[in-house]
Structure 1
Amino acid sequence: MTQQPYTVAFALFRYFPYGGLQRDFLRVAELCVQAGYRVEVLTTEWEGDRPDWLKVNIERVTPRTNHAAMVAFGRKALQFKDEVKAKVLVVFNRLPGGDLYFAADDCFAMRVKEKNALTRMLPRYRTYLNLERQLFSTAGHARILFLNNSQRDDYLGEYDLDQRRYRVLPPGVRNDRRPGDNAAFLRAEVRKEFGVAEGEHLLLFLGSDFRRKGLGRALLAMAHLPDSIESVKLLVVGEDDSAPMQADINKLNLSGKVIFAGARDDVPALLQGADLLIHPAFHEAAGMVLVESLVAGLPILTTAACGYASYVLDSGAGQVVASPFRQEALDQALADMLMGDRAAYRRSALEYAERVDLFGMHEQVLAEIEVLLGS
């Protein structure tokens, strides 16, 4: 009798095609299928195309608030594991009971300390904190996959986590982010599409959730550039509503200098077409766009609040604004980079990408799953 393949269950609250977490999930699921495992996915919502090789189960949850819905989804995930007879449940949100947690979230226990006492008592905060505490409890069994050392240190500052329960993953940049033989052609095409003239600077802001990723800060820095730096445009690419930003753009006299391009699939071309990535996020557990830009050779300006900012510092591929954040520091760094030797940043980035593993995340997640399948 032929042995049936192991089933691996994946649970993520919501799938949309342009999220970094969602892309990581999909790549790991694909590797599992290629390795011969049966994959079952549970989510409350799926936006965009579904691969024909993937079994997706949509499970609506009734609570109206996000935090209550997450609790309900967590219960459904445990039931789902039993229903599909999965040996391993991989969770991409704070869902107690999962076997493997892909920690794409910041440490909530640390973040909540920044709030006042009344805010911390709100049901939303208490619920998310309780979910995280259950997941990281010493009585828990979930293996934790951190995205970087900074994130790991944040969690270890709040939870007594046995070192045998976690590992830190390398980034998982796609190979197509490397500059190919057609890099110059891609650059010319992007600049032609967006009307970037010869000698004009093109800044790239790439990512959904404009506010959290610091678009407002980027606009201020652009508006504060000295008169000696002329002809600068900002290309904003991502899935979010641009309307709330228009008042700021008008107030800062940036009309005609900011282009909202929506979500796009031609990221490799955009990384070659721009002169600098600006990503002054308020907080981000990782920040895949930073290492994508590094691999592409695009100079980077970001904040220390991003987990992957350490790669920018180590490589010399750009500048990192220290915490606590000061707008004046971002303003100065942007001016310095635009007036400086961006070719040197590019060389440093490309040399670093040749000697450091920035690509192996998803294969390592598969290896972790296979350890659990064999236990």
Structure 2
Amino acid sequence: MQLAFCLYKYFPFGGLQRDFLRIALACQARGHDIRVYVLEWEGEVPPGFDLIKVPVSSMLNHRLYAKFTRWVEADLARRPVDRVVGFNKMPGLDVYYAADPCYEEKARTMRKSLYRYSPRYRHFSAYERAVFAPESHTEILMISTTQQPLFKKHYGTPSKRFHLLPPGIAPDRRAPANASELRVAARARFASEFKLQSGDLLLVQIGSDFMRKGLDRSIEAMASLPEPLKRRTRLIALGADDPAPFMSQAARLGVGERVFMPGGRKDVPNFLLAADLLLHPARHENTGTVLLEALVAGLPVLASAACGYAHYITDADAGSVIGEPFHQSAMNDTLAAMLSTPDALTCWQHNALVFADSADLYSLPERATDVIVGKRG
């Protein structure tokens, strides 16, 4: 079977991008041919992938995406495939992977009414409707239960077209048998790069789009720690984003020498093992895969309830979840309490590993492949 995958941009450190790659590889492993349409691709191309960089351009995103769609439609008319799988909302999809929240809901609740007269709104609203309208035949891969009611509210999408997937945590995120030794080795490697001493507490935050992920909230919470605790705490934020405004915030709050932003890294598992706590106080997050990556590595988590996967932290009793609406004071107090109780951190670590062994947190690529190749034309 010839499969076409469409996504606007691929880069190695994006959650949606990692999900796309693992699903495409799972389809390839079952013997299917993979063609990929993108505007941009960063990093290595897997062997056997037919990668097509669509040669269109525009200064405005909505016009760029419209040109992308028209070009892909024309190419597919010349070279048909059996299934078209999209990781961004667009017309003509057989299967859509719903990593993004409901655009219509955001447009009506988070924007002024005049916004709905803009060309940008008309484009993204039409593209979302092309996927979710009742007359569409697109099958929808859902990775969180939080957004399905919103799509049904705005479009009346039939329930039978939604397919809820389990999480898809990569196997290399699981804590190996020698995790304790690897933790010591990782912290030794990080000692000079991040000024990390043996008795220091290491906080990590992982994910691009720092403002949406709440990095400013993490910095403020760290700065609010009692002085003795603050002196021995370091925060490392990994992700592809501009660090300047956040480093300025850290300097203004007096923790500039304790906050580090080294960009995207390929050695994320080492950070998960070396850290004492993952912070993820996102403003909005359809899932939050990194919460589960921390959990299976045995790393306790402090997250906001805005994350679709936050319930797993509660289910596993592997950390704390800050309720919505978010209050900075609640995060400040919770962080201080968590770091002040080493026994609790150890207990949460144990609980996380037990949960990781018993729950299905890994089969997203295989389940997605079942839907993709099983869809009836």
TM-score, normalised to structure 2, is 0.94
**One of 168, 175, 186 as aligned partner of 1:172:** 168
The structural deviation recorded for 1:322 is 1.3
Q: SS in structure 1 opposite 2:57? A: coil
Query: What amino acid is aligned across from residue 369 of structure 2 in structure 1?
Result: L
Name the residue aligned to 2:332.
331
**One of 47, 56, 60 as aligned partner of 1:52:** 47
CA–CA distance in 1 between the matches of 2:312 and 2:78?
42
**One of 45, 59, 76 as aligned partner of 2:71:** 76
CA–CA distance in 2 between the matches of 1:214 and 1:141?
36
**One of 128, 133, 139 as aligned partner of 2:129:** 133
Matched, 1:33 2:52: no
- When structure 1 is superposed on structure 2, of 223-232 and 107-116 the one drifting more is 223-232
Name the residue aligned to 1:291.
292
User: Contact 1:81 / 1:89 at 8 angstroms: preserved in 2?
Assistant: no
User: Contact 1:183 / 1:269 at 8 angstroms: preserved in 2?
Assistant: no
Query: What amino acid is aligned across from residue 342 of structure 1 in structure 2?
Result: L
The structural deviation recorded for 1:20 is 1.0
The structural deviation recorded for 1:228 is 4.7
The structural deviation recorded for 1:357 is 0.7
CA–CA distance in 1 between the matches of 2:347 and 2:150?
33
The structural deviation recorded for 1:299 is 0.5
CA–CA distance in 1 between the matches of 2:256 and 2:339?
20
Equivalence map 1:137-156=2 (5 Å) = 137-156=133-152
The structural deviation recorded for 1:60 is 2.3
The structural deviation recorded for 1:206 is 0.8
Query: What amino acid is aligned across from residue 141 of structure 1 in structure 2?
Result: H
The structural deviation recorded for 1:165 is 0.6
Query: What amino acid is aligned across from residue 97 of structure 1 in structure 2?
Result: G
**One of 52, 56, 60 as aligned partner of 1:61:** 56
**One of 367, 370, 373 as aligned partner of 1:364:** 367
- When structure 1 is superposed on structure 2, of 27-36 and 153-162 the one drifting more is 153-162
Q: SS in structure 1 opposite 2:134? A: coil
Equivalence map 1:1-375=2 (5 Å) = 6-112=1-107, 113-195=109-191, 196-230=196-230, 231-340=232-341, 341-372=344-375, 375=377
CA–CA distance in 2 between the matches of 1:119 and 1:85?
37
User: Contact 1:146 / 1:169 at 8 angstroms: preserved in 2?
Assistant: yes
Q: SS in structure 2 opposite 1:105? A: coil
Count of aligned pairs between the two proteins: 369
Query: What amino acid is aligned across from residue 355 of structure 2 in structure 1?
Result: Y
CA–CA distance in 2 between the matches of 1:204 and 1:210?
13
User: Contact 2:247 / 2:259 at 8 angstroms: preserved in 1?
Assistant: no
- When structure 1 is superposed on structure 2, of 10-19 and 74-83 the one drifting more is 74-83
Identity of aligned residues (%): 39
Query: What amino acid is aligned across from residue 100 of structure 1 in structure 2?
Result: V
Structure 1 stretches of 4+ moved >6 Å: none
Name the residue aligned to 1:3.
none
Query: What amino acid is aligned across from residue 232 of structure 1 in structure 2?
Result: T
Partner deviation per Cα, 1:282-324 (whole Å, 9 max, x = no partner) = 1111111011111111100111111111211221111111111
CA–CA distance in 2 between the matches of 1:157 and 1:348?
37
CA–CA distance in 1 between the matches of 2:270 and 2:178?
9
CA–CA distance in 1 between the matches of 2:264 and 2:316?
28
Structure with more helix by fraction: 2
Q: SS in structure 1 opposite 2:128? A: helix
Query: What amino acid is aligned across from residue 356 of structure 2 in structure 1?
Result: A
Q: SS in structure 2 opposite 1:234? A: strand
Query: What amino acid is aligned across from residue 144 of structure 2 in structure 1?
Result: N
CA–CA distance in 1 between the matches of 2:328 and 2:152?
30
TM-score, normalised to structure 1, is 0.94
The structural deviation recorded for 1:229 is 2.0
User: Contact 2:152 / 2:158 at 8 angstroms: preserved in 1?
Assistant: no
Q: SS in structure 1 opposite 2:203? A: strand
User: Contact 2:34 / 2:48 at 8 angstroms: preserved in 1?
Assistant: no
The structural deviation recorded for 1:72 is 2.1
Q: SS in structure 2 opposite 1:253? A: coil
